[in-house]
Amino acid sequence: MSDCIFCKIANGEIPTELVYQDDLVAAFKDANPLTPVHILVVPKKHYENVVDGVPAEVLAAMVHAIDVVTKETGIDKTGFRCITNTGDDAGQSVHHFHIHVMGGRKLDPNAGEG
């Protein structure tokens, strides 16, 4: 999708510090972090949301990216939350499938924080 900000970031059209990337996915710090560690993991190809026919290999690449970034930030030891919002009513503000990886402090078990 030509006007999608996450497509542009993931494919290098908008400069940002990527914390991880491979052929299928990119991960970068959220511009408006809600926790000390708040990273977005996105596929490089545009998918509206998690139920938009995302191939298994893309989902596997996203899980691998989560593994890498949580270990690099140390939140693999203290705990972290992964969130994906699907649709406007769920709070999806950018309609490009992405997973919020959040941690770095004790998270409220009753709040989505993403």
The arithmetic mean of pLDDT across residues 31-46, rounded, is 96
CA angle 107, 113, 114 (to 5 degrees): 140
Q: Which residues are catalytic?
A: 98
Q: How far apart are the first and last CA of the chain?
A: 24
The arithmetic mean of pLDDT across residues 3-14, rounded, is 94
Over the stretch 73-104, which tens digit does the pLDDT of each residue have? 999 999 999 999 999 999 999 999 999 999 99
**pLDDT value of position 108:** 87
**pLDDT value of position 1:** 62
Spatial distance between the Cα atoms of 58 and 42, rounded to a whole number of angstroms: 9
Spatial distance between the Cα atoms of 16 and 33, rounded to a whole number of angstroms: 15
- Confirm if 10 and 26 have CB atoms less than 8 A apart: yes
**pLDDT value of position 113:** 56
Spatial distance between the Cα atoms of 83 and 34, rounded to a whole number of angstroms: 12
- Mean residue pLDDT of the chain comes to 94
CB atoms within 10 A of CB 30: 16
